[in-house]
Amino acid sequence: MNNKRPSILLIYTGGTIGMEEDVQSKSLRPVDFNHLTDRIPELKTFNLNLSVIAFDKPMDSSNMNPDVWVKLARLIERNYSKQDGFVILHGSDTMAFTASALSFMLENLDKPVILTGSQLPMGIIRTDGKENLITAIEIASRQEKGRAVIPEVCIYFEYQLYRGNRTHKFNSEHFQAFQSANYPVLAEAGVHIKFNTDAIQAGKPKKLKVHTRLDPNIAVLKIFPGIQKNAVAAILNTKGLKAIILETFGSGNAPTEKGFIDLLTKAIDNGLIIYNVTQCNAGSVDQGKYETSSQLKKIGVVGGADITYEAAIAKLMFVLGQKLKKKEIRKALSNSLRGELSESHGAAAEIL
- Helix then strand count (H, E) for the chain reads 9, 20
203 burial type by CB count under 10 A (0-12 exposed, 13-18 middle, 19+ buried): middle
- Judged on CB neighbours under 10 Å (0-12, 13-18, 19+), 11 is buried
Strand partners, 210: 106
CB 112 within 8 A of CB 143: no
Query: What are the phi and psi torsion angles at 192 (to 5°)?
Result: -125, 160
Of the candidates 16, 127, 278, 308, the residue annotated as catalytic is 16
E-strand stretches of the chain = 7-12, 19-21, 28-30, 49-54, 85-89, 106-107, 113-116, 143-144, 147-148, 153-157, 160-163, 168-169, 178-179, 187-189, 193-195, 209-210, 218-222, 243-248, 273-278, 302-303
16 is catalytic: yes
Whether the CB-CB separation of 102 and 163 falls below 8 Å is answered with: no
Q: How far is CA 81 from CA 17, 85, 111, 206, in A?
A: 28, 10, 10, 13
What do you get for the CA distance between the two ends of the chain, in Å?
A: 37
C-beta separation of 112 from 140 below 8 A: yes
DSSP conformation class of 108: T
Please give the C-alpha separations between residue 112 and each of 115, 152, 175, 208, 224, in angstroms, as whole numbers.
10, 5, 23, 13, 39
d(CA 171, CA 90): 16
**Cα 248 to Cα 256: distance, rounded to the nearest angstrom:** 12
The residues that are catalytic are: 16
